[in-house]
Structure 1
């Protein structure tokens, strides 16, 4: 049985992740409005002076008839539909969407008002300005609403809401007109001059060196929607088309990769490549080829050379699109291709495909690896970089399972020490599995050092999956980051339904074991703090650790082991809960089992996640497992977490956790 890995965790924070988040935000403003871009592109293609209908109506008696009026040429020069759509409609839609993302309808309205300021204060289509003013309007409205939330006397809510939004919109519109508009205009002109320089000096193909790797790393949205779409739209308004719309959307490089795997790949990658090629080329979902490149990183050379070839051909033929093509399907590309550019666009796709295929085929044929790497693992890596489950991952993961597996009877949740994270994660997963009717499936937890290759499925933190895989190579491996509510738990249940042939009668919950101490002994009232003083994760770990020391549960050296454990793998569990505990080697510093709990008025930044409850753990045996199971169940329910936030006494906190 070959190892399969599925990962739901986002990569750790860094420059790439911040750029990726920026690109996602920009994409979220543009993509809902792509239909408007398509409508504008079609109107442009049909009705402008260089449009498809110009030749038909040019010889008629009335050259300034309705076609000219719609397009804005002839006696309607600068008017018609084309100009107002790109100048006003598209930016305002983007600003409205950006404001709505931040603060719902009120944010959307203020974002749209603010966008009008930059639109009228600039001499170029203000897409970048809309991407700034829309979210800014939503954010400002959100902050202002928070000032008097719950403080307005009944009957005055509508008055305050309407005037506050109106006044804020006025201020931001003026600010956009005099401040942001001129700055963005200057930036747009500068960036346009840079593009002109690249085109004039035949250097535009070099952009593929940046764009093609950025696509695989999911940074393309920041480039495409943050730079290329605004600049391309400005260029298309002036010339009727833009090559910039083709820099990122050309499906040729990805198609070449998939064709190379179709003919020269191995195993599952070869079997799945033809279907992936159809989805990528006709469906426009480029991310379906990313795992193939991540599986063989040197193939990025093929995509770069293929991309450069496509750009070079488009430069040579002067081809371009009238509007963005989204998704990057060959169908959408042809729909937006400018008149006279069909030959160049077609050759650019064919050229990019051919070069990418030839280079990728050579690299695959000369690869010394005896077996193809796990496509499912590469897909998991792609989803990790994307930050969420891919909409097409099932096309690859499903194909990579290597055939049907037997029933899954044993599942282990593994962590470094086996006393905290794994126990709580196993409790949540066990409950889901039992509720689904699979009471015969055994769910346990273990330290990675104690694992044996006897389990059917292993669940672990994404940073520990590689270590777990070394000891359990024949198991299915599922990587998670959010222990309380990971979507992978539901997928495990679905996998059980497929592999085990439906659920059996649900069995009572398994007792994690509490034969030693009572819950009250494990979590003493003196170890519960309602208002913690720490302001960082490190200080919170020390605060929870000191409570364990004061309770006589651990030696002072155990607190150092808690920090050591955190430096290797985060103990953030999800839903505002972190459970710092010592390493496996520090169990000798535990005198008896004990827990501590600290609640913070404001969430603490825990490696980029908000932690409001910190539970320190010291487990000498299994007598803390029952209470950990109860804590896990509490934190898996939002209403119970809300009760904990509102608790006024340590007794109330402990009562909620113990279910009494």
Structure 2
């Protein structure tokens, strides 16, 4: 009976994680467009830094058309490539025109739905198409399915999503007016460490924040998950009261977290002592309370959650409040973490820290809906088997950790005098070709290998530090 209940809970958790990953997977590749919209809004609206009536006319159409269509296109693409992307975008245009509010949520629904339906059509009829008619059938099938979805979206989905958006907006307004918004961090901070951070931020808070920013010019919702203060407080506490690898690595981790915006770097430090969940929750509540008190807000999502990105997206007149929110969050988190580290039995040995790094990677894999199987370990010796013309660091989103790993390897390649380009990419965007060296984390190695079977693959446990990097450089020098 207990095993059945446990499996049921695990299944529900996995379903939630997959759903959240799908939502964030539509928004994250388009963060640049959100930032562009935020900059234009911050500069050119009537209350902006450089008010310009003509340029301010860009703000509305970008929010109404560009951002939803980009989300829908990406959602359809994630389901079924280019054909799915096109059908998803067509369907979303119907829901845009059938409502009077920005259709970010509608795009998240119709983009994948369009991709799914055209995929099912191809699976059912693709093998029955007569030779020579493939292009005709492909074009008309996507056009007809897109047309039908656009009409349905206009009359049914648009009004429904508009009503749903109004209800959620009223709910958020009630929570803020009741002074309960800081309590959201009781759920947000632990969920981040279980690698639901992107799902929460980009799947839930960003769409609601965009709605609010469109009306008031800023939104505090963008700060709930992105505030780097609580994580900075945890790392600062380890700098002072930690031991072994956890203490020596905390300084570098704090730079990666605070400046680079890679919040995942502090998750193993919390997992090493679960009582530290109290510290990040306290820091999150204190930071959000400060922002509520100061009336702080951002004009758009800050991604990654770097202090640079946060300040860059800060609304006019909110800089003092945002900075205070970060500092108060960090101070409270540090104080609580320091007390916990000083009064609990030390567990922060090198072995314990390494174990929690591995646990953190496992949680990350699980949050992305990946099966917990034995990792596939790429052999560095395989680098000698073919000429390497390009090195690609691949992760699930193609940002964050893979970008930092690529930066480290690029420096090593340059120091070795090698003329080999080093880039980063999401696994879904990898193209199979000869001469590639793909470097992934162990839990992603199997997917990368399936995507690019002709490439040479090397799996590492941590993009930020791996002895395999030197081995790879030595093999490349031998070539």
2:149 & 2:198 partners in 1: Cα distance? 27
Partner of 1:69: 54
Question: Which structure's residues are more often helix, by fraction?
Answer: 2
Deviation at 1:145, TM superposition (A): 1.2
Pairing 1:374–2:374 present: no
2:183 & 2:382 partners in 1: Cα distance? 56
In structure 1, the gaps of 5 or more residues are 1-11, 55-66, 72-79, 391-420, 438-477, 504-660
Instruction: Determine if contact 2:242/2:348 at 8 Å carries over to the other structure.
Output: no
Pairing 1:275–2:260 present: no
Instruction: Determine if contact 1:20/1:221 at 8 Å carries over to the other structure.
Output: no
Pairing 1:133–2:110 present: yes
2:458 & 2:442 partners in 1: Cα distance? 10
Pairing 1:120–2:105 present: no
Deviation at 1:432, TM superposition (A): 5.6
Partner of 1:49: 46
2:28 & 2:286 partners in 1: Cα distance? 27
| Map 1:318-467 → 2, pairs under 5 A | 318-369=295-346, 372=349, 374-387=352-365
| Map 1:4-19 → 2, pairs under 5 A | 14-19=11-16
Partner of 1:31: 28
> Aligned pair in 2 of structure 1 residues 32, 488: CA closer, same or farther (>3 Å)?
closer
Deviation at 1:213, TM superposition (A): 0.3
Deviation at 1:388, TM superposition (A): 7.6
1:496 & 1:351 partners in 2: Cα distance? 40
Between the two proteins, the alignment pairs up a number of residues equal to 396
Partner of 1:516: none
1:69 & 1:436 partners in 2: Cα distance? 56
Instruction: Determine if contact 1:496/1:502 at 8 Å carries over to the other structure.
Output: no
Partner of 1:190: 167
Deviation at 1:187, TM superposition (A): 1.7
Provide, for residues 102-130 of structure 1, a one-character-per-residue CA deviation record: whole Å limited to 9, x for no partner: 11111111010011111111222111110
2:125 & 2:161 partners in 1: Cα distance? 34
1:321 & 1:34 partners in 2: Cα distance? 14
Larger Rg: 1
Provide, for residues 615-641 of structure 1, a one-character-per-residue CA deviation record: whole Å limited to 9, x for no partner: xxxxxxxxxxxxxxxxxxxxxxxxxxx
Provide, for residues 561-603 of structure 1, a one-character-per-residue CA deviation record: whole Å limited to 9, x for no partner: xxxxxxxxxxxxxxxxxxxxxxxxxxxxxxxxxxxxxxxxxxx
Deviation at 1:491, TM superposition (A): 4.4
Deviation at 1:149, TM superposition (A): 1.5
Corresponding residue SS for 2:138: helix
> Aligned pair in 2 of structure 1 residues 129, 481: CA closer, same or farther (>3 Å)?
closer
| Map 1:78-93 → 2, pairs under 5 A | 80-93=57-70
| Map 1:259-338 → 2, pairs under 5 A | 259-338=236-315
Deviation at 1:490, TM superposition (A): 4.6
Partner of 2:119: 142
1:97 & 1:501 partners in 2: Cα distance? 36
Further displaced range: 196-205 or 179-188:
179-188
Deviation at 1:389, TM superposition (A): 12
Deviation at 1:500, TM superposition (A): 13
1:85 & 1:483 partners in 2: Cα distance? 39
Deviation at 1:16, TM superposition (A): 2.2
1:289 & 1:377 partners in 2: Cα distance? 14
Corresponding residue SS for 1:247: helix
1:42 & 1:13 partners in 2: Cα distance? 41
In structure 2, the gaps of 5 or more residues are 1-8, 385-440, 451-455
| Map 1:170-181 → 2, pairs under 5 A | 170-181=147-158
Deviation at 1:226, TM superposition (A): 2.2
Instruction: Determine if contact 1:23/1:220 at 8 Å carries over to the other structure.
Output: no
Pairing 1:230–2:215 present: no
Partner of 1:160: 137
Corresponding residue SS for 1:101: helix
Deviation at 1:38, TM superposition (A): 0.8
Deviation at 1:479, TM superposition (A): 9.2
Deviation at 1:13, TM superposition (A): 5.2
> Aligned pair in 2 of structure 1 residues 260, 157: CA closer, same or farther (>3 Å)?
same
